Amino acid sequence: MHSPDSFVAPVASLAEFADKHDIAFSQIAGGGNSDQPPAGDRIAMLVTLCQEFSIQQWLAIITQDTLTKKEREMKPLPEEVLYSSTGREMHFTNTRSALNVQFVGPFTLNGSAVNEELNAQLRIPHRTLVNQEQLNFSLDRYGRTAMDLTQRCTLAEVNMSALYHVASPHPLSGDQLEKGKRFLNTVQPTEDEERTVFSVSAALNAFLSAALDINEFSDVADCVLNKPSFGGIISGFGVHRFLSYDVGTVRSMDAGYVRITMPAYRMPLRLLLNHETALQAVITMTAARPPLQTCAGNIEVYAEHPLDPGKRLLIQSIVTKQCHIASVRMPLDLPRLSPLLNDY
């Protein structure tokens, strides 16, 4: 696990821009317990792209907004149903919410984009609609649940990764239900625990989809992605995206390290495109309390190209709804991902 000094500081040009626009430096603070964050709640993320000896940074400010009249009149989102290999049928409600995102940059060691362009980026936000229930999901609850389920497997002398536990929007076959009995008998999960395990994927995908909906951020993320070949895209009729993670790899984090008072957890995952690893990452997650609901409780995403570790991306939550950036002295470099994975 890398140490606190692996955090990356804003480059001078970004810090100067933040100061000019009254974005002061401070620590992350946890918010209230509301299921619906009030309009105006915001958090920002420092996005750092490292490609060999080149470093670029962006400031992403995410603000909760109210739905417009046209958005409120849209057809309601359908209820989601998942069928588990334990035999359970779980129902999830879905409602829309709106986020405005200002993606400002790039900033480099030698300066930044021209002021007119930066000001335009700050003045004209990107608007994206998200599933509020998915962003509301408390990732710290998943962390606690994952570690508890893993502990039960440890006591039973069973490897969690060897157990079959899946969910599908369609009823499962008899063979799948039979394979799921070992997990059911060993772990004996409650329905709430199962809902928690399967909800984390929706929460992470909601955050990822909202980010990739911004063309400028999508272009940055492309720099660290190992994309499917053109032939693979044609044969697969497009690109299928899937997040792969293992409940048994969740670890708790020191609250001092993540600079918040709420419990936090870390977990490695892979982004698969057409069943091939496109990105390997480690995420740090906590409770999705306002204003952290705007980012689904993701306070750090550290990602790396699976074939070229010189291409690395770090996304850090740094701003509370008062718009304060965390102030810490840090070297301007990104660690390699492999040392982080040694603990898993």
pLDDT digits (tens, 9 = 90+) for 243-291: 888 888 899 876 555 566 678 889 999 999 988 899 999 998 887 777 7
The H-or-E segment that residue 30 falls in is: none
Q: Kindly write down the DSSP assignment for every residue of 179-198, as one continuous string.
A: HTHHHHHHH---HHHHHHHH
CB 180 within 8 A of CB 271: no
How many angstroms separate the CA atoms of 230 and 220, rounded?
20
Residue 28 is predicted with a pLDDT of: 53
Alpha-carbon 49 to chain mean position: 16
- Res. 344 pLDDT band, cuts 50 70 90: very low
Residue 330 host element (H or E): none
Q: What angle do CA 225, 42, 36 make, to 5 degrees?
A: 105
Q: What angle do CA 112, 296, 41 make, to 5 degrees?
A: 70
E strands, the chain, are 24-25, 42-51, 54-65, 80-84, 89-92, 96-108, 111-112, 126-131, 167-168, 241-245, 251-253, 264-273, 276-286, 298-304, 311-317, 324-325
Evaluate if pTM is beyond 0.85: no
Residue of higher predicted confidence among 50 and 321: 50
Residue 161 to residue 6: CA distance in whole angstroms: 30
Confidence of residue 3 (pLDDT cuts 50, 70, 90): very low
Q: Which residue has the higher pLDDT, 301 or 256?
A: 301
- Report the chain's terminal Cα–Cα distance, integer Å: 9
What confidence score (pLDDT) does residue 89 get? Answer: 96
Alpha helices by DSSP H, 35-136: 69-72, 115-123, 132-136
The SS3 of residue 52 is coil
pLDDT digits (tens, 9 = 90+) for 167-190: 999 999 999 999 999 999 999 999
The DSSP secondary-structure symbol of 101 reads E
Residue type, 93: T
Q: Are 221 and 273 in contact (CB under 8 A)?
A: no
Q: Which residues contact 16 (CB under 8 A, 6 or more apart)?
A: none
Residues 70-103 pLDDT 10s: 999 999 999 999 999 999 999 999 999 899 999 9
Cβ neighbours for 324, distance < 8 A, ≥ 6 positions apart? 23, 24, 25, 26, 27
Q: What is the pLDDT of residue 80?
A: 92
Query: In the predicted model, is pLDDT for residue 104 greater than 60?
Result: yes
Closest by CA to 300, choosing from 342, 334, 344, is: 334
Please tell me the distance from the alpha carbon of residue 250 to that of residue 247, in angstroms, as a whole number: 6
pLDDT digits (tens, 9 = 90+) for 185-206: 999 999 999 999 999 888 888 8
**Local confidence band at 120 (pLDDT 50, 70, 90 cut-offs):** confident
The pLDDT confidence band at residue 155, using thresholds 50, 70 and 90, is very high
Q: How far apart are the C-alpha atoms of 227 and 343, rounded to whole Å? A: 28
Peptide bond into 4 cis (omega under 30): no
CB 258 within 8 A of CB 284: yes
With cut-offs at 50, 70 and 90, classify the pLDDT of residue 222: very high
Are the C-beta atoms of 129 and 177 separated by less than 8 Å?
A: no
